[in-house]
A and B are shown apart, each in its own frame.
Chain A
């Protein structure tokens, strides 16, 4: 089945929010909203799930913790035993104090970088990737709402168009794919 994408452009995020509320109340599925900044309270309206980035961050942190601990144990205790701070006990546990800062830093490093890279991949915004937004003006001062006919089969394309037009838009663009 042919899919048609409707892009409705707004010049105010509050109008977009009210429009989205109205459309969702009528049973329209809003696929995506493009905005130059985060719009407060839009997520629950168009039904975007709570992000799982925090869970990923925790996992990356644990990986960092494990890597740092194993690495330092191998370098400083096992492979080449070091006299740490005048305490040549050659035991990881007894010298743990001096390893904690690095463990902490490496955990943060892994969590932060892992999270940033995951975020860029999830949004398909890694350097060199083709931009996802339909109109470059959504990175400046315009807001775009996207609906697809394939997700709103209970309405015809014309009905959908009419409904979207009634929400105070400034432009409507359509694309068949």
Chain B
């Protein structure tokens, strides 16, 4: 069945984008004379590019995981995963734009290690400058984004080719490529989160940071996938998807929420316990200036899925899943927001028209791109070798 973007969805995404643009305009008009305006504007750009790019990246990782483990159940929702993963090239575009501007502006107080004047007076950054310098940063960034793009294109092309030719050759090729991608991703998900996010708090470091960020990415991706599946099923586009598939993706949302909470807690508890000045400073900033939002988002991302998604019935109920999904997404956006803002703007950060406007604008683009991707291929893969198994999926 071919997917057509409904009129309602078109109006919705357009409204989001227009209101977002309007709010951004108001925000710029209100704050453009502020001292930290450039930092604030670019922080928001970075937050939203990272958040939405990583949702696409999480979907790519999830698809590679299904390939590498030769899973059967997901075949019926494969095109949904692919559609979410289709945001990757757009996300790469946004990220590159932000990184180029930041490099030209010597970090714009976000990546302070890019600023030669700051580095000259800072012994800690000097020690890190063999790793954290503009050239090496760009070599790494291009390598991450290039490889993500390469694998995204490969998986997508082969998936569409499989629809035409069938057989198992493509399946086994995907199996191998998926496994290799996971190896790359295991390293790159950690190092890219150091480069892009952790280096904002340049004096601080945590060995858990990569996993923590990755868990957040995975959870947001699964949430987007489940909401999109429910939406498409409601419109009747996914006749092969039954409650068991929904239940399974719901379990992923539940499990990854826990993975995220577990890593959040592990990082927090160890630093709290050791109580070393250079580590605690990271949490001091967050507790003193972002208290409600920081602990609020932890509770939202942990307690909501724990209590409300624990029962089997809740994971099979479209309404519950959608509402919790939207709340979790807001929670994870707040997580990324604090990660970036607390490092770049510190005590001076606040959520106003600019933040909400840019989020709405990006969300509108993101949803539109995903729906557009869906309309480019049949909703159920035609020749996937495990399609029959997936249709009869029962748990």
| A residues apposed to B, CB below 8 Å | 40-41, 50, 54, 58, 85-87, 97-98, 100-101
**Chain B interface size range:** 10 to 19
Chain B binding site: helix, strand, loop or mixed by DSSP? helix
CA–CA, A98 and B265, complex, Å: 11
Quick check: A97 and B268 within 8 Å, CB to CB? yes
**CA–CA, A85 and B273, complex, Å:** 6
Q: List 21 A-B pairs, Cβ < 8 Å.
A: A40-B394, A41-B394, A50-B312, A54-B311, A54-B312, A58-B310, A85-B272, A85-B273, A85-B274, A85-B275, A86-B275, A87-B275, A97-B268, A97-B269, A97-B272, A97-B273, A98-B269, A98-B273, A100-B265, A100-B269, A101-B269
Q: Which residues of B contact A87 (CB under 8 A)?
A: 275
| CB-CB nearest in chain B for A41 | B394
Interface residues of B (CB under 8 A from A): 265, 268-269, 272-275, 310-312, 394
Which single residue of chain A is at the shortest CB-CB distance from B313? A50
Q: Complex formed: what's the CA distance from A64 to B263 in Å? A: 22
- Alpha-carbon separation in the docked complex, A101 to B270 (Å): 11
- Complex Cα distance, B274 from A40, in Å, reads 51
Chain A residues with CB under 8 A of B272: 85, 97
Closest chain A residue to B271, Cβ basis = A97
**In the complex, what residue of chain A is closest to B274 when comparing beta carbons?**
A85
A46–B353 Cα distance when bound, in Å, is 60
- B262: nearest chain-A partner, CB-CB: A104
In the bound complex, CA of A86 to CA of B272 (Å): 11
The smallest beta-carbon distance between A50 and chain B, in angstroms, is 8
Which residues from chain A contact B274 at a C-beta distance below 8 Å? Answer: 85
Shortest Cβ-Cβ A-B pairs, 10 listed: A85-B273, A97-B269, A97-B272, A40-B394, A98-B273, A41-B394, A86-B275, A100-B265, A85-B275, A97-B273
Q: With A and B bound together, what is the CA distance between A136 and B92 in angstroms? A: 62
Tell me which residues across on chain A come within 8 A of B275, comparing CB atoms: 85-87
Set of chain B residues within 8 Å of A85, measured between Cβ atoms: 272-275
Docked pose: A86 CA to B268 CA in angstroms: 17
Q: Which residues of A contact B273 (CB under 8 A)?
A: 85, 97-98
What is the distance, in angstroms, from B13's C-beta to the closest C-beta of chain A?
39
Interfacial chain B residues near A40, Cβ < 8 Å: 394
A129 to chain B, nearest CB (A): 29
Chain A residues near B265 (CB-CB < 8 A): 100
Residues of B close to A58: CB separation below 8 A: 310
Shortest B316–chain A CB gap in Å is 12
7 more CB-based (< 8 A) A-B contacts, given A87-B275, A97-B268, A97-B272:
A50-B312, A54-B311, A85-B275, A98-B269, A98-B273, A100-B269, A101-B269
**Chain A residues, Cβ within 8 Å of B268:** 97
What are the residues of chain A within 8 A of B310 when measuring CB–CB?
Answer: 58
Q: How far is the CB of A56 from chain B (nearest CB, A)?
A: 13
Most buried by A among B268, B272, B274, B394: B272
Separation of A97 and B269 alpha carbons in the complex (Å): 6
CB distance from B254 to the nearest CB of A (A): 13
- B residues within 8 A CB of A50? 312
Among residues of A, the one whose C-beta sits closest to the C-beta of B265 is A100
A111–chain B nearest beta-carbon distance, Å: 12
- B270's nearest neighbour on chain A, judged by CB, is A97
The residue on B at minimum CB distance from A98 is: B273
- Distance (whole angstroms) from the CB of B258 to the closest CB of chain A: 11
Smallest beta-carbon distance B127→chain A, Å = 28
Which chain B positions have C-beta within 8 A of A98?
A: 269, 273
Residues of A within 8 A of B311 (CB): 54
Residue of A nearest to B266 (CB): A101
In chain A, what residue has the closest Cβ to B269? A97
B312: which A residues are within 8 A, CB to CB?
50, 54
Q: How far is the CA of A54 from the CA of B312 in the complex (A)?
A: 9
B378 to chain A, nearest CB (A): 28
A101 to B269, CA, bound (A): 9
Q: Give A101 to B268 CA distance when docked, in angstroms.
A: 12
Within the complex, what minimum Cβ distance (angstroms) separates B167 from chain A? 28
In the complex, A50 Cα to B287 Cα: how many Å? 45
| A128 → B minimal CB distance (Å) | 33
CA distance A41 to B393 in the complex (A): 11
Q: How far is the CA of A97 from the CA of B268 in the complex (A)?
A: 9
Q: Enumerate chain A residues within 8 angstroms of B394, measured Cβ to Cβ.
A: 40-41
A40 to B, closest residue via Cβ: B394
User: Taking the nearest CB of chain A, how far is it from the CB of B282, in angstroms?
Assistant: 15
CA distance A71 to B17 in the complex (A): 55
A1 to B259, CA, bound (A): 58
Q: Which residues of B contact A101 (CB under 8 A)?
A: 269
Q: Distance (Å) between the CB of A106 and the closest chain B CB? A: 16
**Residue in A closest to B312 when the chains form the complex, CB atoms:** A54
Most chain A beta-carbon contacts within 10 A, residue among B268, B269, B274, B394: B269
Q: How far is the CB of A42 from chain B (nearest CB, A)?
A: 11
Complex-state Cα separation, A159 to B268, whole angstroms = 70
